[in-house]
């Protein structure tokens, strides 16, 4: 029997995931607060619904793709003190049927994942954190990667849907572990963007073109996601259209700082990188592309208009 899937949050990532699942012949229902996002999803074979109760009537698995941990907690548990969701008078806790599986792809916090999973379990609802990498293109083509925190049995039940929506999956531990791994990943991506900008700027001033330098780095030991994907796709051509915003990356860098604090760690390099991203809010708005952070290193080389 084909599993009916619901996607909550039809933005840059969730919209692509819903379209991918529809392309794989899963019946897909999609919910977003934004009517424009629902209309766009309808063009990709997704059935849009305008309320959470309507979505939950149909589905056996729910994919969540919301901006932050607080959005996930509100959706799953409702407001503190009641069982309601602020927007809908409903939450997954209040309305989800026993047996429902919730796959949260939001880059969230391990604490939120564990808290929500424990609460939903009391209603017979399973929850896993499965944050993703690969950007809107990876979501839309089903080639994104996932780091998953889940129990083995829940993961096995969700696997056909996970396989349809992603190119690779790494089961890193039980609930919460996915977000630990994703925070570590984005801590590195935040660092690599700045360190690559510094290396490219230095080499350019020493007479080596950015294109030739990247070619050399990508066959050498300095290569990373920044040298292999971000610089060629969104920086060198000054497109700055990755579909991942500065606001969301600053959120992720903040999550890494919070985890570092909670563990009582020093990590001087991560602290410096976090400070640079935080300070960037003075010149780079939340809606800008996250790759624009490189312009702080060398505005003449990486900025627009020269
Ligand atoms: P986005 O802002 O494009 O999409 C979020 C969507 O959620 C919006 O359409 C918004 O209207 C909707 N929404 C917000 N609250 C809602 C609610 N209560 N109910 C229903 N819909 C609601 O964000 P995105 O870029 O798609 O990112 C989603 C998550 O994926 C974030 O946690 C982000 O950090 C992570 N992520 C993004 C990328 C990327 O390249 N964009 C890559 C990896 C991970």
Work out the number of other CB atoms within 10 angstroms of the CB of residue 197.
23
- Classify burial at 7, counting beta carbons within 10 Å of its beta carbon; exposed 0-12, middle 13-18, buried 19 or more: buried
Residue 303 Cα to ligand 1 midpoint, Å, equals: 27
Give residue 207 CA to ligand 1 midpoint distance, Å: 41
- Residue 13 CA, closest ligand 1 atom number: 26
pLDDT average, residue stretch 258-281: 97
DSSP assignment of 179-245: HHHHHHHHHHHHHHHHHHHHHHHHHHHTT--HHHHHHHHTTSTT--HIIIIIIIIIITT-----S-B
**What residues have CB less than 8 Å from 2, skipping those under 6 apart?**
25, 26, 27
User: What pLDDT shows up at residue 293?
Assistant: 98
Map out the domains of the chain as residue ranges: 5-175, 180-302
* Ligand 1 pocket test target in 8, 33, 181 with most atoms within 8 Å of CB: 33
Express each pLDDT in 99-114 by its tens digit. 999 999 999 999 999 9
CATH number of 180-302: 1.10.1040.10
Q: Are 185 and 172 in contact (CB under 8 A)?
A: no
Question: Which residue's CA is the nearest one to ligand 1's atom 40?
Answer: 135
Determine the Cα–Cα distance for residues 117 and 129; give it in Å rounded to an integer: 9
Question: What's phi and psi for 117, nearest 5 deg?
Answer: -60, -45
> 178-187: per-residue pLDDT in tens?
999 999 999 9
Range 5-175 has CATH code 3.50.50.60:
no
Model's pTM, two decimal places?
0.96
Q: Which tokens hold the place of 70?
A: 């607080």
In terms of Cα–Cα distance, which of 296, 72, 264, 52 is closest to 198?
296
pLDDT of residue 1: 65
Ligand 1 contacts (CB < 6 A) are 8-14, 31-34, 37, 65-67, 71, 75, 87, 106-107, 132-133, 135-136, 243-244, 248
Encode pLDDT of 55-93 as tens digits.
999 999 999 999 999 999 999 999 864 444 444 458 999
């Amino acid at each position: 029997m084909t599993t009916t899937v619901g996607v909550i949050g039809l933005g840059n990532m969730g919209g692509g995931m819903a379209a991918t699942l529809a392309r794989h012949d899963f019946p897909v229902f999609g919910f977003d607060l934004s009517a424009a996002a629902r209309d766009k999803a309808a063009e990709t074979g997704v059935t849009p619904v305008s309320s959470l109760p309507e979505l939950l009537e149909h589905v056996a698995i729910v994919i969540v793709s919301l901006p932050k941990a607080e959005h996930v907690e509100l959706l799953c548990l409702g407001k503190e003190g009641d069982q309601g969701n602020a927007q809908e008078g409903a939450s997954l806790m209040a309305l989800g049927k026993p047996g429902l599986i919730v796959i949260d792809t939001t880059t969230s916090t391990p604490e939120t994942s564990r808290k929500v999973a424990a609460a939903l379990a009391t209603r017979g609802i399973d929850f896993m954190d499965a944050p993703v990498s690969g950007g809107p293109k990876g979501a839309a083509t089903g080639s994104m990667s996932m780091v998953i925190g889940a129990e083995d049995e829940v993961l096995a039940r969700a696997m056909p849907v996970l396989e349809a929506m992603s190119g690779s999956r790494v089961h890193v531990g039980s609930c919460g572990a996915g977000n630990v791994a994703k925070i570590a990943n984005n801590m590195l991506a935040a660092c690599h963007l700045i360190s690559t900008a510094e290396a490219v700027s230095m080499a350019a001033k020493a007479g080596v073109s950015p294109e030739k330098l990247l070619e050399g780095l990508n066959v050498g030991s300095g290569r990373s996601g920044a040298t292999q994907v971000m610089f060629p796709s969104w920086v060198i051509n000054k497109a700055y259209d990755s579909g991942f915003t500065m606001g969301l990356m600053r959120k992720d860098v903040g999550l890494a700082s919070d985890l570092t604090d909670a563990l009582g760690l020093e990590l001087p390099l991560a602290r410096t990188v976090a400070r640079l991203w935080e300070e960037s809010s003075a010149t780079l708005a939340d809606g800008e592309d996250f790759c624009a952070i490189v312009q702080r290193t060398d505005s003449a080389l990486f900025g627009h208009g020269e």
